[in-house]
Chains A and B, each alone.
Chain A
Amino acid sequence: MTSLETAANPENLRRIAIDPVSRVEGHGKVTILLDDKNKIHQVRLHIVEFRGFEKFIQGRPYWEVPVMVQRLCGICPVSHQLAASKALDAIVGAKHPTPTAEKMRRLMHYGQILQSHALHFFHLCSPDLLFGFDSNISKRNIVGIAEKYPETAKRGILLRKFGQEVIRHAAGKRIHGTGSVPGGVNKSLSVAERDELLKDIYQMVSWSREAVHLVKELHHKNPELYNSFGAFRANYMSMVGMDGSLDLYHGRLRARDDNGNILFDGVDYNNYSELIAEEVKNWSYMKFPYLKSLGAEKGWYRVGPLSRVQNCDFISTPLAEIERREFMAYSGVMPMHAPLGYHWARMIEMLHAAEMIKDLLHDDDITGSELMATGERGFEGVGVIEAPRGTLIHHYRVDENDLVTMCNLIVSTTHNNQAMNEAVRRVAQQYLHGHEITEGLLNHIEVAIRAFDPCLSCATHALGKMPLEIEVLDESGARLSYLSRSGDGSFCA
C-alpha cells in the first residue's frame, strides 16, 4: 500500500479534484493534494454514490428480489439477477437447478460478459489506447474511433449488440429482463431463437479473437508503458470452477498473493464472511474489503478479468485457452500486476464467452422444457457469480412468511476499491508529480480507473463525456486556476 492515502499536514496543500470521473458509471471523484512544488502528498478515489438496496429490499417477498436488485446497474443487471437467483435457489430448496435452467442462466451470463466487455473496450477505452492518453480530446472518443478505425468501431458495436440479443432471448429484454427466477428460469430458447443466434455466433468468435490480438499487439509494441503504467503489486481473488477452470457462473473461491502463491483455494462461497471483512474509511461511501487472514493493511486484493485469467488453471474453450497461455507466458514467472493488463485479460474473457455461447447453442438442453427445481424450504442463501467486473456476492435471509429480513451485497467494484486507489496514486506519482495540470495528464488518472471497468459506469457509457471541473486552490481556499469540461466535451478555463 502506498503512503499517499492521507497527507501528514494537509492544511497547507493545494487540492485538485476530478469530479466526477468521466467515462465510468455513476459518480466518483479523485482528489489530489499537492505542495508549492507540485509534489504529491495525497491521492484518493472517492465513490460518492449511495444506493440503499440492502435496506429497502428488507420486507419484500423473496421472489421479487432478482428482478429488483438487478436495477442496481444498467450494464450488468444480469449479474445481479443471477447472483440473487443463485442465493434464493437455497430458499426454494433448488440445490441443483435443472440442466436447462443452468444452461439458460449461463447463456444469459455469457451474453452479458460479451456485451459488457465489448462496450468497455471498444466504446470506453479504445480511444485512450489507440489514440494516446493525452491525444486530441476532440477525437478521443468512439466517434473518433469510428472515423479513423471504422472496422474496429463496427465490430465493437456489433459484438455488443449480439451479446444484448443473447440476453434478450434468454431473459426477455436486453436490459432488466426476468428470465432467471429462484429455482430456475421462466423460459428456454425456442428453436427459432437458437437458430437466429447461431447465424452470427461464428463471426462473433472470430471478431473476439481478433480483439485479443489487437490488445496483445498494443502490449508488444509498447511494453514499457503497458507493463508499468500505474503498476502495483496486489493479492488477487476470484471464483474458479470445481476443476480449476475459468468459470464465471459457479465454483469455489481461490485467492493468491502478489507472487501468485495460493492463499486459499476450494472455499465454498457460502463461507465468504469467514474470509472477507470490510473496512470503513471516513472519506468514502464505499467500504474497503480485505482478507481477514492478512488484515486490512496487507489483505486488500484485486478482482475482475486480470485476477480471473491468472487465477484459474485453464480455460475450457480452446481459442481462449491458447490466448491465456500466451498471456501467462508474456507475464513470466510473476503475475501481471499492471492495470493495463486488464484489457488483455478482458478480451480473453470475451473470446471465452463467445465460445461458450457457441457451445451452449449447440446443446439440446438449451431448448428443453424442465425449467424449475424445488426441494426443502430454506431460510438463508448466498449466491456468488463472476460479474464482468469481478466477484459479486449476494446474501439473503428470508422469514417464514417469505419476506426478506437481511440482505448483504458485496459488488465487484467494492472489492477493487483499494486497488483502484493504489493505481490512481501510482499514476499521480508517475505522471503528475511536478507538472502543470493539463487535461491530458488528468486523463492519465482516469485511464487507470477505467482499466478496472468500475461499475460506476452506466451513466456515461453511451456518450463518454461527463462534465468535469478541476479547481486548484491555495491554502486559504482561494481559487488559483480552474478548468471545466461541459457535457459536450468543450473546455473553458
Chain B
Amino acid sequence: MTQSNSFILDGATIPYTNEQTIIQAAMAAGVYIPHLCYNPEFKPHGSCKLCTVKIKGRQVASCTEKPQAGMVVESNTKELNDERRNLLQMLFVEGNHFCPSCEKSGDCQLQATAYELDMMSPHFDHFYPDRPVDASHPDYLLDFNRCILCSICVSASRDVDGKNVFALAGRGINSHLVVNSKSGDLADTGFSANDKAAQVCPVGVILKKRVGFAIPIGERSFDEKPISATPHPTVKGA
C-alpha cells in the first residue's frame, strides 16, 4: 500500500509515494534533475552521479535515495551544476564525441544535458582513445567511441532480454563496454534487432544500421525544447 507525502525540492513541494526515489518523484511532478545512467524502466544504480542532490549538506544520488516527509533537497544550485558540468566534461574527453557528424545529435542525452548545463567547452585535455567500431552484426552497429558506461544496455539485455549480451569490463579509467562472445564481436552474440537492449542507448553507441540521418533537423527529440522541458527525457522509444 502506498502513502502520499511530500518533500521540498529547490523550494517546491514535491509529492511522493513510498516506492519512489527522489528523481522519480521529481520527474512525476515535472521537475528535471540532470541524469544519464538513470532510465525509469530499470533499477537505478547511481553510477553517473549527474543526478546528485544535496540533503542537509550531504551529497546523494537522487536516483537511489528515497525522500522523506518534509525533507529539504537542493538540486538546481550553482555548486551542484558546476560539479555536474565537470562530470560531463570528463565524459566528453574520455571518449570520442564528435557531435557534428554523429547521427544521434539532437537525440542524444549526453549532448542535450551538456546544453542544459551550459557546457561551453570540454575544458580537459582529450584522451582520443582508439576504439574501432563493431560493425559485424547485420542490423546493428556498436560505436564504442561514444560510450558513457551508463550500463543501461547491460540491464536491458540481462533483465528484459535475458541474454547478457553486454557487460562492463576493466576497472576505473580502463572500464569499457564489451559484448559476450568468444570473438568479441556483436555478430557472435544472441543480440537481435528486437531486443530491449537495442532500443535504450541514451547516446550513439548502439545504432540501427543504415538509418543515419533519416530524422530531419527540427524533428529530433531535443530540437524544439531542452531536455529539462522534454516530457520524457529518456531515450526515444524507451
Contacts and interface: CB of A to CB of B under 8 A. Distances in A.
B217 interface: yes
Given A64-B103, A173-B217, A178-B217, A403 B212 contact: no
Contacts of B210: 63, 92, 402
Given A59-B132, A172-B216, A187-B216, A64 B101 contact: yes
A71 B136 contact: no
A229 B52 CA distance: 68
B212 A64 contact: yes
B215 interface: yes
Nearest to A178: B213
B101 A401 contact: no
Sorting the interface of chain A by its residue count into under 10, 10 to 19, 20 to 34 or 35 or more gives: 20 to 34
A186 B209 contact: no
Contacts of B133: 59-61, 403
Interface in B163-220: 207, 209-218
A407 to B, nearest CB: 14
A492 B157 CA distance: 67
Interface string A398-420: 00011100000000000000000
A177 B101 CA distance: 10
B64 to A, nearest CB: 36
A487 B103 CA distance: 37
A67 B211 CA distance: 13
Contacts of A186: 213-216
B141 A61 contact: yes
A53 to B, nearest CB: 11
B135 A67 contact: no
Given A67-B101, A71-B100, A401-B136, A61 B218 contact: no
A68 B100 CA distance: 7
Contacts of A66: 213
A28 interface: no
Interface string A178-191: 11011000110000
Name the prevailing secondary structure of the A interface residues: loop
A172 B218 contact: yes
Contact of A402 (B101, B132, B135, B216): B135
Interface string B141-170: 100000000000000000000000000000
Contact of B212 (A63, A171, A173, A176): A63
Contacts of B218: 172
Given A67-B101, A173-B217, A402-B141, A182 B136 contact: no
Nearest to B215: A186
Contacts of B216: 172, 178-179, 186-187
A66 B100 CA distance: 11
A402 B103 CA distance: 15
Contacts of A176: 100
Nearest to A64: B101
Residue with the highest number of chain A CB atoms closer than 10 Å, among B100, B136, B212, B215: B212
Given A63-B103, A71-B101, A176-B100, A403 B135 contact: yes
Residue with the highest number of chain B CB atoms closer than 10 Å, among A59, A68, A177, A178: A178
B211 A63 contact: yes
A181 B135 contact: no
Contact of A177 (B141, B214, B217): B217
Nearest to B103: A64
A67 B141 CA distance: 18
B83 to A, nearest CB: 32
A176 B99 CA distance: 12
Interface string A53-73: 000000111011011100100
Interface in A17-60: 59-60
A61 B212 contact: yes
A176 B214 CA distance: 15
Interface string A445-481: 0000000000000000000000000000000000000
A63 B100 CA distance: 14
Nearest to B207: A61
A181 B101 CA distance: 13
A68 B105 CA distance: 12
Nearest to B204: A64
Nearest to B212: A63
Contacts of A402: 135, 141, 209-210
B213 A67 contact: yes
A203 B133 CA distance: 50
A179 B217 CA distance: 8
Contacts of B100: 67-68, 71, 176
Interface string A63-90: 1101110010000000000000000000
Contacts of A182: 212
Given A71-B101, A176-B100, A402-B141, A61 B209 contact: yes
A60 B136 CA distance: 13
Contacts of A181: 212-214
A226 B214 CA distance: 48
A403 B132 CA distance: 11
Nearest to A67: B101
A402 to B, nearest CB: 6
B205 to A, nearest CB: 13
A204 to B, nearest CB: 24
A61 B135 contact: yes
25 contacts: A59-B133, A61-B135, A61-B141, A61-B207, A61-B209, A64-B102, A64-B103, A67-B100, A67-B103, A67-B213, A171-B217, A172-B217, A172-B218, A177-B217, A178-B213, A178-B216, A178-B217, A181-B212, A181-B214, A186-B214, A186-B215, A187-B216, A401-B135, A401-B136, A403-B133
Interface of A: 59-61, 63-64, 66-68, 71, 92, 171-173, 176-179, 181-182, 186-187, 401-403
